[in-house]
A and B are shown apart, each in its own frame.
Chain A
Amino acid sequence: MAEIKKPKLAVWKFASCDGCQLSLLDCEDELLAVAESVQIANFPEASREIIKGPYDISLVEGSITTPHDAERIHRIRRQSRLLITIGACATAGGIQALRNFTSVDSYVTTVYATPAYISTLKKSTPISEHVPVDFELRGCPVNKYQLLEVINAYLNGRRPNTPPHSVCMECKSKGLVCVAVAQKTVCMGPLTHAGCGALCPEYNRGCFGCYGPKETPNTASLAAWWREHGEKNTDIMRSFRGFNAYAEPFRKESEAHENI
């Protein structure tokens, strides 16, 4: 019997820190099994060997910040059967989307000696604003087990188990004590998409919202509660203005606490 052709996997980088694609290399124990199940066809961070497209699965990391990248993502979409975005940059614009709240020109002139060489867009935007995306995996960085789960699910033709409920459900399922209630810590958990396994609350810290908004997040209610309990508007604004600042529910809530 002829050997079944393995699906071709490509990993693409846009404006990002590489942390999400490194999560794939971070799989260590599971990496060999992944390499046996797919053909790693285009993953410069792992191998110099580049096999030409089209690709069965493209994992896209990073946001669109330059005119060149805004073109490039269309080429990648054209040669990908499935396009999966991974991480806060690719799904929400990332921390670099803080530029979206101000003028990028002021940054360019402050940071670069010769601003004329810089060709950049006014906004950092998620991949889904440019091309259709088949699946978005959240997180800053993504959780390696969730990344494996997504690859696994697509290889087996099933839906990935990446529930969009709150971090609180992960916290309670682990038997952790709520840091918001027991320690009065500002915690984004009730608004944030699960996936990290309640990492920060497990270490007695409030959730920073790395996985972005959960399904139906009620940002206004929690922000009002924080306000009633003495948090300053600027601090509330900053709570929403992290790695997922440009995700719509967080963006709107941060704007509601701006300049007041």
Chain B
Amino acid sequence: MNKKSKPSAYTLPASQLQKIIDLLHEQGYTVIGPQRQDNAIIYDEITSTDALPAGWTDVQEGGTYQLQRRDDDAWFGYAVGPHSWKQFLFPAKKKLFTIERETFRAQAEPADKTRYAFLGVRSCELHAIAIQDKVFRDGPYADPAYSRLRNNAFFIAVNCTEPAATCFCSSMNTGPGAESGYDLLLTELIDSGQHEFLISSASAKGRALLGKMELPEATPAARERGQELLARAADKMHRRMDAEKARKLLLANPEHPHWQELGARCLSCANCTMVCPTCFCSTVEDVTSLTGDTAERWRRWDSCFTMGHSYIHGGHIRSSGAARYRQWLTHKLATWVDQFGVSGCVGCGRCITWCPVAIDVTEEITKFEPVTQETAA
């Protein structure tokens, strides 16, 4: 196909986004999108653009999250909330199989054939999904349930123009603009009195859908505005993480006294791992019928902050809070790279916001830096 014959971006009037949702429904997709619920922007099933959090933004800091009215009625004018797409592709609780005592044969759970269309996926979240792909789909121990849901899904990304104070994707090279991993990509433009989106596609599925829309090519001015908004978003991010430096610091300091200070603050409540879009730990529980004639195996989310996570015959390997925090941070930012070739952190800042005592990974990592003569003075 001659690339030049197709424009790279089109203009989608806001009123036309509903048509995309309708087309996805026609194709059998369950559309999941952002909406305002319980004082937060969460992800749930959506049938109409009326459900989008129009005019709301999220103000975030360590241990705090608040919704605030925006000056405009932007639909995607927030950063990220407590939910992530993980809960759909890797559900918190899932039955794996049933087994009968009589036959002693395991009956696998029928595959979940839901086809999700995720609307409003941020660049950091696309990176998080790419990381979970390495774990659940592309690695030596593929999870068929994850692979099926993920391969069936349709991704509508939205470039992030309103990062929260807790975001640090620009320093992790995971945002704010989406570069790959999506079917359609939107950039919301609202400042000129008009409400419209730049829209482009990066897959056959995306192009096919876009082909049904008959949209005008985006003007150079609109495209420029999109770039400008992204550059401004990157500038807004004050938290930073130097991934390479973080990795070196963690690997060099397993016995650093700062781990004890972190252990004294950390609640081991596991919130950071629950909200982290890349954390993938789970455990299994077996349940029986009262009579013992049938049994089921369930998988549920686990966390390296629970004692059970490091329990082996004879006891727990990581019984102190400091040891568990070290395990989490060192895996996330250092040994993850050895294991999967990328950092386990995408800079979404959820672990900072949703930590009940506001432990900030971007700040904590600096505590492991060697004390130089200037800083000591």
- Would you list 25 pairs from A and B whose C-beta atoms are within 8 A, ordered by A residue? A36-B291, A149-B287, A155-B290, A156-B288, A158-B288, A161-B286, A164-B308, A168-B269, A168-B356, A172-B271, A172-B275, A173-B93, A174-B92, A177-B39, A177-B40, A178-B354, A182-B65, A190-B271, A216-B307, A218-B265, A218-B321, A220-B264, A221-B265, A221-B357, A225-B63
Contact A168 B306, CB 8 Å, known A180-B356, A182-B38, A182-B66 = no
Contact A218 B288, CB 8 Å, known A173-B93, A176-B38, A181-B63 = no
Contacts of A163 in B (CB 8 A): 306, 308
Instruction: Give CA–CA (A172, B319) in the complex, Å.
Output: 23
Contacts of A158 in B (CB 8 A): 286, 288
Cβ B356 vs Cβ A178 within 8 A: yes
Q: Which of A142-200 contact B (CB under 8 A)?
A: 148-149, 151-153, 155-156, 158, 161, 163-166, 168-169, 172-178, 180-184, 187, 189-191
Cβ A221 vs Cβ B264 within 8 A: yes
Q: Which of A27-56 contact B (CB under 8 A)?
A: 30, 33-34, 36-37
Instruction: Give CA–CA (A33, B290) in the complex, Å.
Output: 7
Cβ A173 vs Cβ B65 within 8 A: no
Q: Of B81, B319, B356, which one neighbours A225 at CB under 8 angstroms? A: B356
Cβ A169 vs Cβ B274 within 8 A: yes
Contacts of B49 in A (CB 8 A): none
Cβ B275 vs Cβ A166 within 8 A: no
Which 5 interchain pairs have the tightest Cβ spacing?
A172-B274, A190-B269, A173-B92, A177-B38, A177-B40
Contact A218 B268, CB 8 Å, known A175-B83, A177-B82 = yes
Contacts of A184 in B (CB 8 A): 64
Check A15 for interface membership: any CB of B closer than 8 A.
no
Cβ A177 vs Cβ B267 within 8 A: no
Main SS of the interface on chain A?
Answer: helix
Q: Which of A218-232 contact B (CB under 8 A)?
A: 218, 220-222, 225
Check A119 for interface membership: any CB of B closer than 8 A.
no
Check B112 for interface membership: any CB of A closer than 8 A.
no
Q: Of A176, A181, A190, which one neighbours B353 at CB under 8 angstroms? A: A181
Instruction: Give CA–CA (A158, B285) in the complex, Å.
Output: 11
Contacts of A153 in B (CB 8 A): 288
| Closest Cβ neighbor of B270 among chain A residues | A169
Check A204 for interface membership: any CB of B closer than 8 A.
yes
Check A215 for interface membership: any CB of B closer than 8 A.
yes
Most buried by A among B39, B300, B356: B356
Contacts of B274 in A (CB 8 A): 168-169, 172-173
Instruction: Give CA–CA (A225, B354) in the complex, Å.
Output: 14
Check B37 for interface membership: any CB of A closer than 8 A.
yes
Cβ A204 vs Cβ B321 within 8 A: no
Contacts of A180 in B (CB 8 A): 63, 356
Cβ B356 vs Cβ A152 within 8 A: no
Contact A173 B287, CB 8 Å, known A164-B307, A215-B307, A218-B267 = no
Shortest distance between the CB of A99 and any CB in chain B (Å): 30
Cβ A165 vs Cβ B301 within 8 A: no
Q: Chain B interface residue count: which class?
A: 35 or more
Contact A189 B269, CB 8 Å, known A33-B290, A149-B287, A165-B308 = yes
A residues near B, CB below 8 A?
30, 33-34, 36-37, 148-149, 151-153, 155-156, 158, 161, 163-166, 168-169, 172-178, 180-184, 187, 189-191, 204, 215-218, 220-222, 225
Q: Of A148, A166, A175, A182, which one neighbours B270 at CB under 8 angstroms? A: A166
Contacts of A216 in B (CB 8 A): 268, 307, 319, 321
| Closest Cβ neighbor of A221 among chain B residues | B265
Contacts of A173 in B (CB 8 A): 92-93, 274, 300-301
Shortest distance between the CB of B313 and any CB in chain A (Å): 14
Most buried by B among A158, A172, A173, A225: A172
Shortest distance between the CB of B44 and any CB in chain A (Å): 8
Contacts of A148 in B (CB 8 A): 290
Instruction: Give CA–CA (A177, B274) in the complex, Å.
Output: 12
Check B87 for interface membership: any CB of A closer than 8 A.
yes
Cβ B288 vs Cβ A152 within 8 A: yes
Cβ B42 vs Cβ A166 within 8 A: no
Contacts of A151 in B (CB 8 A): 290
Check B57 for interface membership: any CB of A closer than 8 A.
no
| Closest Cβ neighbor of B286 among chain A residues | A158
| Closest Cβ neighbor of B61 among chain A residues | A181
Contacts of A172 in B (CB 8 A): 82, 92, 270-271, 274-275, 301
Most buried by A among B65, B269, B308: B269
Shortest distance between the CB of A139 and any CB in chain B (Å): 19
Instruction: Give CA–CA (A173, B82) in the complex, Å.
Output: 11
Q: Of A33, A161, A182, which one neighbours B40 at CB under 8 angstroms? A: A182
Check B198 for interface membership: any CB of A closer than 8 A.
no
Shortest distance between the CB of A81 and any CB in chain B (Å): 18
Shortest distance between the CB of A30 and any CB in chain B (Å): 8
Instruction: Give CA–CA (A190, B267) in the complex, Å.
Output: 7
Shortest distance between the CB of A216 and any CB in chain B (Å): 5
Cβ B266 vs Cβ A221 within 8 A: yes
Cβ A152 vs Cβ B290 within 8 A: yes
Most buried by A among B270, B290, B319: B290
Q: Of B37, B81, B267, B285, which one neighbours A191 at CB under 8 angstroms? A: B267
Q: Of A156, A176, A181, A189, which one neighbours B292 at CB under 8 angstroms? A: A156
Contacts of B40 in A (CB 8 A): 177, 182
